Amino acid sequence: MVDAVGLNQKMLEVRALADGKGFSSSPERIWEMLALIHTEVSEATGAYKKGEPNEHIGEDLADAIVRILHLMSALNLDAERLFEEKMKRNWERPHKYNTVRGG
């Protein structure tokens, strides 16, 4: 069980909602959960391309965050720790991560 702080608190909230609304978090759904994250990001991309208001784009991005946190809960991951470790590694990387265009 993860400590209910930061992203983990939100992850537990998302999991409670998913469970309460009957959305399975079973291992058989992992591939589907990954695809649904992609769908939400694609919807945000389409909304941006069409010139829709930022609020609409943000709603699609928030849906992606919810789906990511649901998947992380299904995988029993510590979202807060992973986020903090990833940010630390990214701060240690060189400017634009030594690429021409950056990340």
CATH of the domain at 68: 1.10.287
Q: Which domain holds residue 86?
A: 6-98
How many independent structural domains does the chain possess?
Answer: 1
* 11 confidence band (pLDDT: 50, 70, 90): very high
- What is the predicted pLDDT for the residue at 25? 95
Predicted pLDDT at 53: 98
1 in any annotated domain: no
pTM of the model: 0.90
User: Looking at the domain assignment, is residue 103 inside a domain?
Assistant: no
Digit-coded pLDDT (tens) for 47-100 = 999 999 999 999 999 999 999 999 999 999 999 999 999 999 999 988 888 887
Q: Which residue has the higher pLDDT, 87 or 4?
A: 87
Confidence at 4, pLDDT banded by 50, 70, 90: confident
Q: Is 32 inside a domain boundary? A: yes
Q: What is the 3-state secondary structure (H, E, C) of the chain?
A: CCCCCHHHHHHHHHHHHHHHCCCCCCHHHHHHHHHHHHHHHHHHHHHHHCCCCHHHHHHHHHHHHHHHHHHHHHCCCCHHHHHHHHHHHHHHCCHHHHCCCCC
* Within a domain: 43: yes
